[in-house]
Structure 1
Amino acid sequence: MSEDFMLDTDDIERRMDGAISSLKTEFASLRTGRASASMLEPVMVDAYGQRTPINQVGTVNVPEPRMVTINVWDKGLVGKVEKAIRESGLGINPQLNGTIIMLPIPELNEERRRELSKVAGQYAEHARVSIRNIRRDGMDQIKKAKADGLSEDDQKLWEGEVQEITDRYIKGIDDQLATKQAEIMQV
């Protein structure tokens, strides 16, 4: 049985890709001083008795580099959308114009840039922890196979493979973090 041991590296990479995808989503929600529709993705509105993403209650547009508009489809939800944005912690003050909510994106000051940079670092660390947990799962599978008779050479080979995949993904996270922090700190 031990000779037939095959670690599912595709599964490990798929799970690590999921962690990277989650990191990209979190990074997209960070405000960098430029308007982006994705910055509203984490904002949920109490609509129709449940928490609903903003893009499901209206059309989100970016007509200018420092302006996001939301054309709310249901006039009764305009106040709830405005409240959700105010309470989201994005630091944006919505302006109402009928069913259209305008979100002027203010310049980020140095202090806010540093805070956002730290938040980006926290997001990256969460992703690194996820990657390490996936690595640990792979290593546990190898140890279990070793207990079932996997040779020590094969064990080292598989452990090296898992470590190489892990290192590649951690480097990817570090590169993305550096890019995001540079984007945040750019004036």
Structure 2
Amino acid sequence: MKKGFTMIELIFVIVILGILASVAIPRLAGTRTDAEISATVANIRTLISDAASYYAVKGEFAGAKWRDITNVSIRQGDSRKPVQANTNADQDVYLAAGGENCILVRLRDKGGAGKPVAFIQIAKVIQNVDKGICPEILAAAPIKAYLDAQVPGVTPEGGGTGLRPGVIPVSSSISIHE
């Protein structure tokens, strides 16, 4: 008598492996999305913290380059290009997730009575709010808090350009934890 597996035993093993795979693969895909959302939230927090630290040391954003302010991976303009070494800090940049530009970031020096010396403006990229994982990122509690933040006396830029911005004074820190 030969030792080995019968055809029936092999078919049962294959069926069991198929059932396990059909349960595990969707759960792993959800975990990847959750990780990307968490990474984006961490990146925006780091970007805000880095900008505040830079401003605390230098006292202004004028003449600054993005590479001097942060190491967070950001994009230039509405393209998929990463920020170049010589990109000025007064240029708008995007924080991308899932291949789409989800969040616009602006650094601004501002003066005047009742206004903070500098602020960070965070805005949704309206044309991408339904693309990829942008809706899930924009729905995350910390991102919503940043988007809803306002500073008395500061009118956000870009009201007519499809952006819904929040304004964060550089001197303060909004810390939202899920």
* TM tier relative to shorter chain: under 0.3
TM-score (norm: length of structure 1)? 0.26
Which one has more relative contact order, counting CA pairs under 8 Å at least 6 apart? 1
More helix per residue: 1
TM-score (norm: length of structure 2)? 0.27
